[in-house]
A = this chain, B = another copy of it.
Amino acid sequence: MSSRRSNAFCTDSHWVGRSNCKLCHIRHTMLFSVLPEEDLEQLLLPIDNIRFDRYTQLYDEATSPEHVYSIRSGWVKLEVRRSNGDSRITRLLGPGDVAGLEVILGKKYRHSAIAMGNVDICRIPCSVIHQLNGQNPLLFKNLLSQWEKSLEQADFIITELSTGTARQRVSKLLHILSRINKSLTFDSMARSEMASLLGLTTETVSRMIAELKRAGSLVEKDQQITLISLDHHQD
């Protein structure tokens, strides 16, 4: 469960360009969706568009706390290193979510943020948030919603993914991944990542999934999982 990087993948980040929010085709779902264009034009500092490859770190606790990261596509995990060395995932962030909110309040990053696949983000300087703060109350409501969304997810991880038998937790996670992806077929997470999210070991997760496969409840092919008949009354 350590955070060692796979060297079987590129682990790099690329500056794509300065973001042009006006032209962003998913602007209506993003943090700045509520802002009028003229506000976007007079920003003091640039919003950069950056691509991160799988397993690249966006930031960790030691990174200078200057930016929030608005995710355009892909998934990012937030994890916390525990005293005994291994880490636990406390959040999965996807398109429209914002990572690193705590720095807006002048705090340090509380997690390591790591790209789970290829990720496309807009990196927004905190000062931009502060600049726009007073001007636009809707942005604030948007920020509050981001926080609340995170809190909902954290509560869910506590009540559903960290409670009950291994079988229940794994089933629940698979259902959620399916719902998030709006499809019965979705990219699989690494077993170790599931384990870190569920508070189980890699082996236990593997056993549970193998069990579901044998029971005909799911199929896995090309790193993709398809749910077949995971009943909602999984014991």
Contact = CB atoms under 8 A, between A and B. Distances in A.
B110 A159 contact: no
Interface residues of A, number: 35
Interface string A158-191: 1110111000000000000000000000000000
Interface stretch (A33-41, A46-54, A134-142): A134-142
Q: Which of A140, A151, A157 has the most CB of B within 10 A?
A: A151
Q: Is the interface of A mostly helix, strand, loop or mixed?
A: helix
Contact of A154 (B104, B105, B137, B151): B151
B157 A158 contact: yes
| This protein's copies in its complex | 2
A224 interface: no
B163 A88 contact: yes
Interface in A108-138: 110-111, 133-134, 137
B151 A105 contact: no
A104 B143 CA distance: 13
A75 interface: no
Going nearest first, the 6 A-B pairs with the smallest beta carbon separation are A154-B154, A147-B147, A162-B162, A80-B159, A90-B155, A88-B159
5 contacts: A105-B148, A107-B148, A133-B140, A154-B155, A158-B162
